[in-house]
Amino acid sequence: DGGITQSPKYLFRKEGQNVTLSCEQNLNHDAMYWYRQDPGQGLRLIYYSQIVNDFQKGDIAEGYSVSREKKESFPLTVTSAQKNPTAFYLCASIDQTGGPDTQYFGPGTRLTVL
């Protein structure tokens, strides 16, 4: 089945540690996105990538980093510089080659800082 997978589902981090959230898609989509969701709020864009080896900051990029070495993969690193990292993180991808160009989401990762 085609889709987006995120791992792990739950992640616990000690203060001062960097952690990496995985996002993989087999939809052959060019563009991928990372969003953050806080309780009772909508999603906010952290980073996005429209093509391999290129990515751009979103609205709340401070304290995060990404890479896009492969079309299928767009990992997000939450660094120790992120002051309030406890949140739900969603990865999404979109087909920009003439398809329905709707964003499809992965199941998410819940990050908790201990």
Partner 1 sequence: AQTVTQSQPEMSVQEAETVTLSCTYDTSESDYYLFWYKQPPSRQMILVIRQEAYKQQNATENRFSVNFQKAAKSFSLKISDSQLGDAAMYFCAYRSGLIQGAQKLVFGQGTRLTINP
Alpha-carbon gap, residue 16 to 79, rounded angstroms: 8
CB of 66 to partner 1, least distance (A): 14
| CA–CA gap between residue 110 and residue 108 (Å, rounded) | 7
41 binds partner 1 (CB under 8 A): yes
Question: By rule CB under 8 A, what string of x and - marks binding of each residue 75-94 to partner 1?
Answer: -------------x-x-x-x
Question: Which one of residues 19, 33, 72, 78 is an interface residue with partner 1 (CB under 8 A)?
Answer: 33
Q: Is 50 in the site for partner 1 (CB under 8 A)?
A: yes
Based on the shown chain and the rule CB under 8 A, indicate whether residue 22 belongs to the binding site for partner 1. Answer: no
Contact 48, 98 (CB under 8 A): no
Considering only 27, 43, 60, 61, the residue that binds partner 1 (CB under 8 A) is 43
Residue 55 sits at the vertex; the CA angle it makes with 50 and 61, to the nearest 5 degrees, is 125
CA gap 108, 111 in Å, rounded: 10
**Distance from C-alpha of 74 to C-alpha of 92, rounded to nearest angstrom:** 10
Binding site for partner 1 (CB under 8 A): 31, 33, 35, 40-45, 48, 50, 56, 58, 88, 90, 92, 94, 96, 101-105, 107-108, 110
